Structure 1
């Protein structure tokens, strides 16, 4: 084994699989077993892909190009004006001074007008269903048994998953999924969509004191339920929004689609023709009813155990006058897509099982491909957010590795340790972290590989416990938790990190413009905040 292969076994896990009774051959009639070897979440702190570092600095240069472009104009304007000429009344007349001043004003004007408009988050709302839709883990299994849709093996499997899921006993599911009737219908899907979407939007419009007709851009993302007319059209119809509203409906993009929707809304606001600015609403949700799986395929039963009702609505603005009332300003947004890789593409896949029952299959490779996407995303994000000291240390170690011919092959023992690439501490770049609460296992692996503290993932774990996995809206329930605990202060940086099918990993970085105030009646945590955090 070479010097670089000593740690390869740490990425592997083994599993003994019972293949049943052999039907033919020399071992006919006997039990047969096989050993399955698969990868775990890769160690994110021990490897880095240089191309993603370069991509991060490409983003950084793009953000600074507007300021850099003005420097030559200033040099031309003032390069020939000496100190003696400025103070020599004989050679410096009023017309020359006015001319140079005009160039300065013009340069400042070009920079001001050419830079992207800041995007402000005025406020957001998270839908909290009524208490009659609450369900405990025990009641979940009992009602699933009474519905007659599952056999005992499937019920036992779901029971085991729920016990280690990190989900509490107060999550919400639609009543239709536990009825004896078929629930995956357009009627039930539309009913759930109307309840969660209109509930979140009503609260948002009330909090922000705006009319639906004030909205110029509407972006809705829902991965698995995409009716015709679309959900965005349903919103336009319900609120009688204006005829020139720019509406978009994103489907099939998984749990990270909320940040994709933010990216689209940002681009539309920054490219919009309105000189006075505009407002955008981003709605993120998923329909539990329409995607409820009633078969026996275990990989498709997993989403039943984690996904719960939820919806978020976010109000964005590019109007500079909204700075005073906005809560946050969007600093950075980085998207990573690993769909070119076949394993990543099929890691979360909607299809029919052997009995032609539609479901969402979760591959055993999802942890590994998710880790690779996460590594690429945070490596690209690093140059945009990390302190200069961390970046300098990283580049010194990177240059040293290249000078000696690559760290892990440069020798054994202490030399290998000396040449190990330094991975920056991402905790120095943010005060708060909102990671998509996919499952307890995912959060545990992420904490271990990124070296995070329990407090860093408190919002994610408590959201998973209280509301379950609400798909793309989960990161907003986590931000609502931070606000309810009054942990957000002016100037704090918040990192929202989401990942989902495709496979995609996306990051959004916000800066708080004011301190989080005492939670109002609209905060979804208000009725249970005194009980959190809980020990999981």
Structure 2
């Protein structure tokens, strides 16, 4: 693992993630339904067995997509089904045309909801940071976030592109730096991923694995240096850390092909991450004189069930520690960069205490590991019986794993 830069143990001007809003894409699909569709589109007995195993072990019940094509016998506008029952393989241009429309609608919708619930006015927004790796268009969602939400024309816009599942961390780090530099700054962060547009319907193991995991969704966060209200749950940003795991470089990659984006994703990724996370966490927590055992809440990107299992084992975490990550995987699948914000929101909503030290982390091509140390503050009084409710939720999720 490459050396880590020393994170700052103190931030001169604390910054806060005041509110997180999430939104899945419009069309839900049950995992069993997609599994059976995929099996019907191959004649290879080995592929059929592998597909069945991948979907059964995924830990996912439901995923969402911006396309409704697979609910119709003849497909839809993007993935068409011919008379022999074979699905089409759309070009990259055809897939990106759907991204152009759907990314604008979904990003504006989730951002509008975030503003409405955050306590901030549209006039307060000074910066927009938008992250995505699943499409390219200009003017893009960053432009329409300003125009369609009627933000000030002077708002600064930044796009973080093609970084993958960990992109929420560079986006939040950038937002925090803006707020540290300008005390009046209020940053709207939007992560949007339409992964299902790039489904590759063939018998390559990488494609079959990706098709069993990825989904569409968006999340928005409001970041500023203002002190949050005591009765509103929020996160105080303590610091960030990045690391590279070179031995995993060939195991995860993302490239532009003629028929969508081509992913390289092998089953070795969980093994590699599980072996490397302990030294990463020790280095991240050293300036704050904390150990993994002192972290009260964990927000781990649910890249897949295997990744969560290996993180839990590698860091010696309890079965409850990754409940929010497993719940998001179960209910939504892997929505790339937006997913970690779904997990952080779930932790806010299910809080059992008024504050907690929180580690958030995500993984992506490289292999890259991005992480943040956060302090949850301002949570409302937890409901009585929340411990029992948490254990019941864990049991319900694990039944489907």
Q: Which residue of 2 aligns with 1:37?
A: none
Alignment partner of 2:292 out of 426, 432, 435 = 426
1:206 to 116, 136, 146: 116
Shift of 1:204: 0.5
Q: Which has the higher strand share?
A: 2
User: Aligned with 2:322: secondary structure?
Assistant: helix
- How many residue pairs match? The answer is 373
Q: 1:327: which partner in 2? A: 234
1:511 aligns with 2:378: no
1:337 aligns with 2:240: no
String of CA shifts for 1:413-454, please: whole Å, max 9, x gaps: xxxxxxxxxxxx5122x1111111111111112222211110
Deviations 1:123-146 (A, max 9, x none): 11011445xx22222211344467
Structure 1: which 5+ runs fail to align? 1-48, 65-114, 388-424, 520-527
The Cα of 1:173 is off from its aligned counterpart by 2.5
Specify every segment of 5 or more residues in structure 2 that has no aligned partner in the other structure, as ranges.
81-88, 384-391
| Conserved? CA contact 1:348–1:361, under 8 Å | yes
Task: Confirm whether residue 126 of structure 1 aligns to residue 27 of structure 2.
Answer: no
Indicate the residue corresponding to 2:329 in structure 1: 464
Alignment partner, residue 362 of structure 1: 265
SS at match of 2:320: helix
Query: 8 Å contact 1:120–1:318 — kept in the other structure?
Result: yes
Match of 1:263 in 2: 173
CA pair 498-177 structure 1, distance change in 2 beyond 3 A: farther
* Runs (4+) off by over 4 Å: 150-156, 320-326, 355-358, 528-534
Q: 1:250 aligns with which of 160, 173, 179?
A: 160
3-state SS in 2 of match to 1:361 = strand
Matches within 5 A, 1:163-174: 163-168=56-61, 170-174=62-66
Q: Does 1:379 align with 2:282?
A: yes
TM-superposed deviation, 1:305: 0.6
- Tell me the equivalent position of 1:135: 29
TM-score for both structures, normalised by structure 1: 0.63
Q: 2:138 aligns with which of 228, 235, 241?
A: 228
1:296 is aligned to 2:200: no
Aligned to 1:3: none
Would the alpha carbon gap of residues 237 and 495 (structure 1) be closer, same or farther in structure 2, given more than 3 Å must change? Answer: same
Q: Tell me the equivalent position of 2:310.
A: 445
| Comparing 188-197 and 198-207, the one that deviates more | 188-197
- Please report how far the alpha carbon of residue 246 of structure 1 lies from its aligned counterpart in structure 2 after TM superposition: 1.5
Larger radius of gyration: 1
Say which structure, 1 or 2, has more relative contact order (CA 8 Å, 6+ apart). Answer: 2
1:221–1:294 CA distance, 2 compared to 1 (3 A): same
Instruction: Return the TM-score normalized by structure 2.
Output: 0.82
Q: Secondary structure at the match of 2:215?
A: coil
Cα deviations by residue, 1:441-470 (Å, 9 ceiling, x for unpaired): 111122222111101111111211111112
Residue 252 of structure 2 is aligned to residue 348 of structure 1: yes
3-state DSSP of counterpart to 2:236 = strand
